[in-house]
Amino acid sequence: MLVGTVREVKNNENRVGLTPESVQELVGHGHTVLVETNAGAGIGATDEVYARAGGQIVETAREIFDRVEMIVKVKEPQPSERAMLREGQILYAPLRGN
């Protein structure tokens, strides 16, 4: 499966949907993982760390949303992200935020 995670755009949200360890686990099970550049900055995980874990670094959220079968997020998708979701795509994220 082609899986992706993006930088969270909700105010004051620094977490990321996939840690480098979770990327390594997914890749180890045969999945391809796309990670938006600087997605892990809030947890201190650089693009290089994600790449070493097997993730493919991608410049924009748009490219990830356009390509992947499943999006993994920490927070509910914001309006700009909901606009990028497409039919048949899996969203792994809470749908109601605080």
For the segment 26-43, the average pLDDT, to the nearest whole number, is 97
The pLDDT value recorded for residue 96 is 74
Residue 98 in this model has a pLDDT that exceeds 70: no
Check: CB of residue 44 under 8 Å from CB of residue 27. no
Write down the domain spans for the chain.
2-71
Q: Give the dihedral sign, CA 94/96/35/14.
A: negative
The pLDDT of residue 28 is 98
- What rounded mean pLDDT belongs to the chain? 95
Q: Give 97's pLDDT tier (boundaries 50, 70, 90).
A: low
Q: Does residue 72 surpass a pLDDT of 60?
A: yes
CATH topology of domain 2-71: Rossmann fold (3.40.50)
